[in-house]
């Protein structure tokens, strides 16, 4: 499968960090052999020089017509959540989506997708600071501010700043496989899949220390995914009551214990499917799903495919039933 063509939409005053995220994860920064870089074009409303928030300017050679050739269109940023997206931009985004391009909004760039009507009736996320503004402007969108990213198939949205890295790594895993995404994550010193949502960053400026009981229990559970876990058992290991543990867990991760465990087990199963010849029975057991039926159920719900098809697509090995 050839690498997808990517167009990243830049605006006057854009944050250089936000603009660089897709290239950091997908582009030619990758060492030779790490992955085939995805061709990335930076696009503006009109070609020319754009000022950035970093105090320097960039030259953008391509205009909106470049979106007609892109497989993936990314809006990594938008300057003012209250300001409507220019109509030519909204029209170009709608046209790209209608012809089948994957459209991605990162941070406040999600506002541009909503302005274009692409998110109506869909779920999305954006930066936690602008949740109320988004809900007021776009009541037809199901906003999920607790999520770092939301994958709706042909539309993907990510929350603020570094959540753009999470989103791009997720899309890399979806397109090229978890092993490739894991390799890129190691290169840029990022987690392949952060266990939680934006709740872990709101009103929590100081990260938990390594000796924090909840951190230790989460690390232990990740190393013991092949055995059943109960909330009561994990709470006891953290020396907390059940109610305190579940409340602290959601405050830390933005999700439930069950959903977090499912996400960790899916990541383990994907890695085993890509890197081993183990049968589906063994992978279901080692990832903690127990039975092939439960593994297939969770694969279908989260990834829209089966373990066997995933293995064929991403490992190249013979299908094991």
Number of domains in the chain: 3
Instruction: Examine the domain organization and report whether 212 and 284 are in the same domain.
Output: no
pLDDT at 199: 52
- Closest CA relative to residue 108, chosen from 3, 36, 15: 15
Tokens for 301, please give them: 């719900």
Instruction: Examine the domain organization and report whether 18 and 122 are in the same domain.
Output: yes
Q: Which domain holds residue 237?
A: 198-255
Instruction: Examine the domain organization and report whether 167 and 232 are in the same domain.
Output: no
Strand 155-158 to 149-151 pairing:
antiparallel
Instruction: Examine the domain organization and report whether 265 and 247 are in the same domain.
Output: no
**Cβ-count burial of 299 within 10 angstroms (0-12 exposed, 13-18 middle, 19+ buried)?**
buried
Instruction: Examine the domain organization and report whether 46 and 87 are in the same domain.
Output: yes
Backbone angles phi, psi at 75, to 5 degrees: -110, 100
Instruction: Examine the domain organization and report whether 114 and 208 are in the same domain.
Output: no
Backbone angles phi, psi at 151, to 5 degrees: -105, 115
Instruction: Examine the domain organization and report whether 270 and 222 are in the same domain.
Output: no
Q: Which long-range contacts (CB under 8 A, 24 or more apart) does 114-122 make?
A: 114/138, 114/141, 115/84, 115/85, 115/90, 116/85, 116/89, 116/90, 116/91, 117/90, 118/93, 118/94, 118/155, 119/155, 119/157, 122/152, 122/155
CA distance 260 to 218: 10
Q: Tell me if 321 is assigned to some domain.
A: no
Q: What is the pLDDT along the chain (321 residues), one digit of tens a residue?
A: 689 999 999 999 999 999 999 999 999 875 556 688 999 999 999 999 999 999 999 999 999 999 999 999 999 999 899 999 999 999 999 999 999 999 999 999 999 999 999 999 999 999 988 999 999 999 999 998 888 899 999 999 999 888 999 999 999 999 998 888 888 888 888 877 665 556 545 443 344 556 789 989 999 999 999 999 999 999 999 999 999 999 998 877 778 899 889 989 998 999 999 899 999 999 999 999 999 999 999 998 888 889 998 898 887 543 333
Q: Is the pTM of this model over 0.95?
A: no
Q: Tell me if 55 is assigned to some domain.
A: yes
Q: Residue 124's beta-bridge partner residues?
A: 143
- Torsion of the alpha carbons at 128, 134, 136 and 140, rounded to the nearest 10: -120
């Amino acid at each position: 499968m050839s690498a997808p063509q990517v167009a990243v939409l830049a605006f006057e005053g854009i944050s250089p960090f936000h603009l660089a995220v897709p290239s950091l994860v997908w582009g030619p920064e990758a060492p030779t052999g790490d992955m085939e870089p995805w061709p990335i074009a930076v696009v503006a409303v009109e070609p020319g020089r754009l000022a950035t928030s970093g105090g320097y300017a960039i030259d953008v050679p391509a205009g909106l017509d470049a979106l007609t050739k892109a497989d993936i269109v990314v809006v990594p940023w938008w300057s003012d959540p209250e300001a409507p997206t220019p109509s030519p931009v909204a029209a170009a985004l709608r046209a790209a989506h209608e012809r089948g391009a994957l459209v991605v909004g990162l941070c406040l760039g999600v506002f541009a997708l909503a302005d274009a009507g692409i998110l109506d009736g869909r779920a999305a996320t954006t930066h936690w600071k602008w949740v109320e503004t988004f809900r007021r402007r776009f009541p037809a969108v199901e906003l999920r501010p607790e999520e770092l990213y939301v994958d709706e198939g042909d539309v993907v949205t990510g929350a603020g700043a570094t959540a753009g890295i999470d989103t791009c790594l997720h899309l890399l895993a979806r397109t090229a496989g978890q092993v490739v995404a894991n390799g890129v994550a190691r290169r840029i010193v990022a987690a392949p899949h952060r266990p939680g949502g934006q709740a872990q960053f709101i009103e929590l400026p100081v990260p938990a220390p390594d000796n924090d009981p909840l951190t230790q229990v989460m690390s232990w559970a990740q190393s013991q995914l092949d055995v059943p876990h109960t909330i009561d058992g994990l709470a006891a290991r953290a020396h907390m009551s059940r109610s305190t543990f579940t409340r602290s867990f959601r405050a830390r991760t933005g999700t439930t214990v069950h959903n977090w465990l499912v996400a960790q087990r899916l990541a383990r199963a994907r890695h085993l499917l890509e890197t081993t010849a183990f049968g589906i029975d063994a992978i279901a057991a080692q990832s903690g799903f127990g039975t092939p039926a439960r593994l297939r159920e969770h694969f279908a719900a989260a990834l829209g495919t089966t373990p066997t098809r995933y293995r064929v697509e991403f490992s190249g090995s013979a299908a094991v039933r």
